[in-house]
Amino acid sequence: MSGRAVPKAKGLRRIERWLVGLAMAVVAFVLEKVVMRSVRNGETPKAEPPPTTVTSRGGEVDLP
């Protein structure tokens, strides 16, 4: 019985996996740059308006 459960990837499969790994690394790098830039610039998400209290005595209530 050999030590590997899955045979070693060969040919195009090995190149494909390498390219997918490279693409994922590029995506992670770009996302990290975007996040760090937004943190550095102090951008904060827009605050939601304070909730309004709605009371009803039955029937339907339309919220804005």
- What are 1-50's pLDDT values in tens digits? 566 777 776 888 889 999 999 999 999 999 999 999 988 888 666 777 77
- Is residue 54 a contact partner of residue 46, using CB atoms and an 8 Å limit? no
Task: Read off the pTM.
Answer: 0.50
CA 61 from chain center: how many Å? 36
Ramachandran assignment for 7, one of left (phi > 0), alpha (psi -120 to 50 degrees), beta (any other): beta
Domain count, the chain: 1
- Is residue 23 a contact partner of residue 16, using CB atoms and an 8 Å limit? no
Residue 1, pLDDT score: 54
Domain carrying residue 21: 11-44
Q: What's the CA angle centered on 31, arms 37 and 29, to 5 degrees?
A: 100
Residue 64 lies in a domain: no
Residue 23, pLDDT score: 97
Residue 29 lies in a domain: yes
Residue 64, pLDDT score: 60
Residue 35 lies in a domain: yes
